[in-house]
Chains A and B, each alone.
Chain A
Amino acid sequence: MTLEMVVFGVTFVVALGSSLAMVFARNAVHAALFLVIAQVALAVTFLLQGAYFVAALQIIVYAGAIMVLFLFVIMLLGVDKRDALIEPLPAQRPLAVGLGALLAAEVIYIVFKGIDLVGDAGGEAITALNRDPGNVLAVARVLFSRYLLPFEATSILLVVAVVGVMVLTRRISDVADLQTPEDLPAGAPVKEIAV
């Protein structure tokens, strides 16, 4: 038994355990934290496969940025234990079961069929990348040639996200700025806000 197998075993248990804990956590902040642990564990599995760059991005982008946003929303809006049990989407349970089954089917398919990660299917650059996934230069070669269009499209996606956030927060902040009727001087016009 090599050290890598030990690390993989621990990572596997941590990833699975924290994912389950995330689902069953009653407290929204705890759930977010378990998700962070799962993200870090995933990063370690990327490391074990030699994909250093992807592992670093997994931590910087997912654990370091996206989960911080989650945490911010939970902390800022004061979503505590109570709200976490309310389900705003009525169809979310059957939908979750359906999508879960789909994912499981995909995993089973790959387990039995297998996918060729080091084959020549993607051309020379992809092959070079798959032989040495930790090489940032190889990642760049593929990203800035074969996947140029998706790369540029990402920027448009990010712009859309920014505009969406602006639109959403504008409305909320207008409402937050509103004083309560008692605070307003007599006769002051009451601003109508569409929420």
Chain B
Amino acid sequence: MDKMKTQSFVEKVKSQLNKIKKENPKINAVLQVNKDAIKEAEEIEKKIKKGKAGKLAGKTIIVKANINVKGMNISCASKTLENYKAGYDATVIEKIKKEDGLILGIANMDEFACGSSGETSAFGPARNPVNTELIPGGSSSGSAVSVAAGFCDMALGSDTGGSIRNPASHCGIVGVKPSYGLVSRYGLIDLSMSLDQIGTFSGNVDDAMLLLNVIRGKDEKDPTSYESKEIKTEKPGKIKIGIPDIKADENVWALVRKKIDNIKGIEIVKIKLPHVELAVQTYYPLVYTEFFSGTRKFDGRRYGKKIEESCGEEVLRRILGGKEISKAEYHGKYYRKALMAKAVIKKEFEKAFNEVDLIVMPTVPRLPHKLGEKISVGEMYSYDSLTIPANLAEIPAMSVPAGRVEGIPAGLQIIAPRFQESGMFSFAKMLEE
């Protein structure tokens, strides 16, 4: 619970709503505000005063527009679902509400999570609050911008190939992608069901851990979810950190090295992950195919518009690409081959974790480009080349601020073995301190 000595929770909510009203037109992070927020804050404050409030009492949360929040417009930042109102709460939202977290609004994003820059939103791109000429990263662009701009305490996003860690890195905040199966995906409008995970954004490591502990756990409505232990930070003994030999902007690498070189009591060793270079090539056939399959429900008959007639270019590219793969798949050339490559990458990480406790590298291989600047599809896809591997290996990874290159934030990525979020957070806490 927040220790608010001078400001009540209701006052804090009012102040954040005012900030959104004043600053959101410039950075376009929030698509919809919860009109009952003040009323709900008053109820939570009563519970706080009685000492009966939940673990998230005093915290405000903004949710990516692909996670169902009952009664809110869950548009996936697309014209396809422009007027779609969620009929139920996703499991993560039920858990947040049960612990008295306040949902403050719905965040902008890349359309149907198809993008790495935030620019594919049908409602205009969110802007990086550090420098509004730059992209904030994506696809959970509005969630990251909302936290970085101080609109809320925490935010939810989804991460299929880096969609939480990439914007967290560009906006200078903490972003966590949990192990596949740690958090229920029930109520998430999927991009690629075998890779998607819901995760957190926050200004610090403790808030990330608090929110992740609330939303984790097995859910009967998501058969891929698992029981898990409470995530805790502890003073670790000697930690062995693996640094892979991978390409990234040299200034970003220098920040990452400087940050970990300052930590006492760790051993740093070089490791090799040769197949990680094929991560992008492995990821997109999987995403195209699963996205094509997942979007067949958007036929305009029960809700929304037919997706092929109302979506933007990147969404259409993935649908048509997925359709082509599905038609040709009897050869096993695309999807099956990509699944095989995924298994190889997963094994490569398992082998690496026999030698080291954690792996550290830059979150994004380059600095963000200017909004509207023309870059090729290949360049756009390579933004996620360092974040995709953790999704393919189903392991947890998080981005913490490493510092700035000429005023632009860059993130350091910590990768841990599957379901060993506690070790990952313990090291993140050491870096933060």
Do A and B belong to a common assembly? no
